[in-house]
Every structure is written in C-alpha cells, then in structure tokens.
Amino acid sequence: MPYTVREIFHSLQGEGVQAGRPAVFLRFSGCNLWSGREEDRAAAACRFCDTDFVGGEKYPDAQALAGAVRNVGGATRTVVVTGGEPGLQLDAALVAALHGLGFEVAVETNGTVDLPPGIDWVCVSPKAGTTLKVTRGDELKLVFPQAGAAPETFEHLDFTHFLVQPMDGPERDANTRAAIAHCLTRPRWRLSLQTHKIVGIP
Ligand SMILES: C[S@@+](CC[C@H](N)C(=O)[O-])C[C@H]1O[C@@H](n2cnc3c(N)ncnc32)[C@H](O)[C@@H]1O
Ligand SMILES: Nc1nc2[nH]cc(C(=O)O)c2c(=O)[nH]1
Ligand code: SF4
Ligand SMILES: [Mg+2]
C-alpha cells in the first residue's frame, strides 16, 4: 500500500511518559478530524491542532518507508508514528517492516480509528465530541482543558498512564496552571509538557 508522509525527522520525544527519549518521527499526512486548512478550522471536530500535516511525499510500500525512517535516525531505533492521524495509514505491513529494521514502534493517535496489532507503545489523545475506538494502551494524554472532555470520563479506560497536556495557544499559561491544579487534586493524573517547544527542537 502506498503511504503519504508529511515529514520524517530525528528528535527527542517531547511529550508524555517517554519525554526525553530519542526517536524518529514519522508524520503521516491527513486527519479525519480536520482538513488541515485554516479556513476549515472553526468548523472542524478538532480545532486546536498545532501541526501542519497537509501534503507531502508518497512512498510506494512499507519497505521503502521503513528504510527512509532508518536513514534519518542514525543509531536511534525508536519511531514515533504520528500525523495527522496515523491510524488512517499505519498498517501491519509497516509495523512489520519497522520491527524488521529493529525499531520499537510508538504511535500518537486520536483514538477514533482502529490500529493494527503489534504496536509497542500506544498513546491515545482523546478529542471532545468524538467516539474512542482505541480504549486501551500505554498512555492516555488528554489536551486540557477541553469542554466536553473532562478527565474523569476517561479514568475507567485501560491505560497504564493518565496525563493532562496544557492546550497550546493564546491561553497556554492559564491552561498550564489549570493542568497543574488538576494533577494536585486528582493524583492519578500527571502533567505532560511539550518540552520540545520549550527547548526549541522539532
Ligand atoms: C498533532 S497530534 C497527531 C496525532 C493524533 N492525530 C492525535 O491527535 O493524537 C500529536 C499530539 O499533539 C497534541 N496536540 C495537538 N494540538 C495541541 C495543542 N494545541 N496543544 C497541546 N497539544 C496538542 C495532540 O493531542 C496529540 O497528543
Ligand atoms: N519533539 C516532538 N515530540 C512529539 N511528540 C508527539 C509529537 C507529535 O506531533 O505527535 C511531537 C512532536 O511534534 N515533536
Ligand atoms: S486529531 Fe490530531 S492531527 Fe488531527 S487535527 Fe486533532 S490534533 Fe491535529
Ligand atoms: Mg507535535
């Protein structure tokens, strides 16, 4: 199956429980919750996205794409598959090809699309007003605050870690204070900062 990829880059995982870990980021094009065009943002299901996932380059098959991931990563053997919404394109063939090159495969998903089996680390970031299909995984990382997506409504799901990540944008400082206050009152939750933005790396 051909894949459309926005970018592949080598950086540190900035967010979540694995923050600080070197990884190759494989960012797929396209999302089911927003077109990626500014003129559509106000009417989209997900309106706070901080990412450009429009357009990109095609790879003809899983081997070609896995090889490209290896070629940008030096000795790093962790790949974070993201987007856009990676669940729209990530399939068993690509997971197998990445495993075949020695990669541990992590995914960042909005959780509304089924994932192939065999992924090593699943991070779900729920979006208000959507229905989760992926209800288990390693971390649930909720962008906070979101009207209609109270943290308490996710606590019954089968995740090892629960995190709140302050929504970036004009209210980021206030959102960070609110996220800290949330963790202090509900200690099941921990804070996820977007550390790559703080230190100025991709
Ligand atoms: C760009 S998304 C791509 C993966 C997938 N579509 C998703 O939403 O999880 C990567 C991560 O950035 C988070 N994110 C997007 N916009 C954000 C913002 N304005 N502030 C904080 N986190 C944001 C998402 O919730 C997700 O955890
Ligand atoms: N450094 C870094 N860490 C990240 N973790 C998740 C990201 C994403 O956009 O999915 C991301 C990203 O864009 N950069
Ligand atoms: S679901 Fe993810 S990629 Fe899609 S618009 Fe929302 S944050 Fe961006
Ligand atoms: Mg990002």
Q: Report if residue 155 sits inside a domain.
A: no
Per the domain annotation, does 81 fall within a domain? yes
Q: What is the pLDDT at residue 47?
A: 98
**In this predicted structure, what is the pLDDT of residue 132?**
98
List the structure tokens of 58. 């095609």
Probe target for ligand 2 pocket from 72, 82, 105, 165, with the most ligand atoms within 8 Å of CB: 82
What's this model's pTM, rounded to 2 decimal places? 0.99
| Helices 92-100, 62-72: crossing angle, 10 deg rounding | 40
Tens of pLDDT along the chain (202 residues) come to: 899 999 999 999 999 999 999 999 999 999 999 999 999 999 999 999 999 999 999 999 999 999 999 999 999 999 999 999 999 999 999 999 999 999 999 999 999 999 999 999 999 999 999 999 999 999 999 999 999 999 999 999 999 999 999 999 999 999 999 999 999 999 999 999 999 999 999 9
How far away, in angstroms, is 81 Cα from ligand 1 center? 12
What DSSP line would sit under 150-198, residue for residue? -GGGGTTSEEEEEEEEEPPSTTHHHHHHHHHHHHHHSTTEEE---HHHH
Residue 29: strand, helix, or coil: coil
Residue nearest to atom 8 of ligand 1 (CA): 110
In a domain? residue 147: no
Domain count, the chain: 1
Q: Is 86 annotated as a binding residue?
A: no
Query: Does residue 60 lie within any of the structural domains?
Result: yes
- Name the residue of 196, 198, 199, 201 whose CB sits within 8 Å of the most ligand 2 atoms, as the mutation to test its pocket: 196
Q: What is the CATH number of the domain that holds 79?
A: 3.20.20.70
**Could you tell me where the beta strands, DSSP code E, fall in the chain?**
3-12, 22-28, 57-59, 78-82, 104-109, 121-124, 136-144, 158-166, 189-191
Domain-located, residue 170: no
Please check whether residue 9 lies inside any domain of the structure. yes
Active site residues: 25, 31, 46, 49-51, 108, 196
CA distance 78 to 108: 13
Protein residue with its CA nearest to atom 26 in ligand 1: 125
Distance CA 130, CA 148 (A): 10
pLDDT of 89 = 98
Domain assignment of residue 138, given as a range: 3-142
What is the ipTM, given to two decimal places?
0.99
Confirm or deny that 140 is annotated as ligand binding: no
- Cβ atoms of residues 14 and 197 within 8 Å: yes
Distance 163 CA to ligand 2 centre (A): 15
Question: What pLDDT does 1 receive?
Answer: 81
Flag whether 24 is in a domain: yes
- Please check whether residue 177 lies inside any domain of the structure: no
